[in-house]
Structure 1
């Protein structure tokens, strides 16, 4: 079951979100967009997770700056996406992610919630893990901003995926993350570039890397979001 819903953040901001899966699914997951909005690719990712037993919400994080954003991958689209991202403070974006958690907990108060993000969303997944205590697991795919926040300490298990040919994330950045966080699972796909998991971008999509990263992500999230164990402290 997929539909668009409205969420309300703690500061009163209302944002739309793509909802997929069922309220009684065993796992809850926030899917975080790239700089291109909640477009066809992100909706497809949400649907795929729903098919694998996740209750999924993909928040429209650009709603604070401009509503209804759904971009393609042209240079102009990228320029617009970067400008919108720059217009929204991190604290506001984290409030929107926490609104997703609150939505899940209205239906299942004790269910653990995970977060997975791509590109900008990959960095935000790291920020969600280090700057909040709302999430029981975080997965980041090619988050270029993670190295800038490498000193932050995650409050939940984290798994990261990078392309070995990603010009925006040099090897020294990945090495710095490994050295600072030896407990974080990090995978590098040697022949993949930035955006290797986006099936709508033929110029960057790498089927072999995407398949392996997807399998690893699902296995990791299922293990971390198992109903036994403690629920994260959200204080």
Structure 2
């Protein structure tokens, strides 16, 4: 596995998006876009890319905050940094963000990849859902995605497989929002929802106080199996 930083062109060609890239030992026709939380491309997100590369995927994590806080790396376990991250979330335009995901798809196609998945966390989970509704990505996975209940009018556009991991005690996605998501997406033939009773937002973080080992291993195992099937 080899890791590097690169810059990928935006869709309109007006700028470039910094990204962390982890390449497997052998060339791969499969790739995973790892979409960060509100904490930037930090150590935990880089580790997720490295883990996908170890599984044989070309993995890339775009810096979703590059327009106003390029290169920022924050910790959810440091209160001041957590508040800083919430501020960035308030500034962030998810419509721009999904265009950045599409730019990453185009870049990967140029690298010779023909099967592409994305996996996102928190804000990245929302972007994974939006990628499923607005791009031609082959498969998407969202962990504790926020605000999806407010975007269900786009669900009809989901053409490729989508999996969502939903912790039932997510303090950013309340029970009413979860109920709305289930009612809209349970009948959808391309969507799989998994609930995690008693778990909270961030349970599958690579490291830190939020991680729940049992829940993370269960969800990550489901994600690996999902991509192994859908990106074959």
* TM-score, normalised by the number of residues in structure 2: 0.91
Q: CA deviation at 1:218?
A: 0.9
Aligned to 1:190: 197
Q: CA RMSD in A?
A: 1.5
Residues 1-235 of structure 1 aligned to structure 2 (within 5 Å): 1-11=2-12, 12-22=14-24, 24-73=27-76, 74-108=78-112, 111-132=114-135, 134-153=136-155, 154-181=158-185, 182-183=187-188, 184-202=191-209, 204-226=210-232
How big is each residue's C-alpha offset from its partner over 1:160-214, in whole Å with a ceiling of 9 and x where there is no partner? 0011221221222222222112232111111311100013222x21100000100
Q: CA deviation at 1:54?
A: 1.1
Q: CA deviation at 1:84?
A: 2.0
* TM-score, normalised by the number of residues in structure 1: 0.90
Q: CA deviation at 1:105?
A: 0.7
In structure 1, distance between residues paired with 2:20 and 2:100: 13
Structure 2: gaps of 5 or more residues: none
Q: CA deviation at 1:26?
A: 4.1
8 A Cα contact 2:29 2:112, kept in partner: no
Number of corresponding residues: 223
8 A Cα contact 1:26 1:53, kept in partner: no
Q: CA deviation at 1:89?
A: 2.2
In structure 2, distance between residues paired with 1:91 and 1:148: 14
8 A Cα contact 1:27 1:222, kept in partner: no
1:64 alignment partner, SS class: coil
In structure 1, distance between residues paired with 2:171 and 2:90: 21
Q: Which moved more, 1:60-69 or 1:86-95?
A: 86-95
8 A Cα contact 1:117 1:123, kept in partner: yes
In structure 1, distance between residues paired with 2:164 and 2:50: 21
In structure 2, distance between residues paired with 1:53 and 1:188: 28
1:161 alignment partner, SS class: strand
Runs of 4+ displaced beyond 4 Å: none
8 A Cα contact 1:35 1:85, kept in partner: yes
Q: CA deviation at 1:46?
A: 0.8
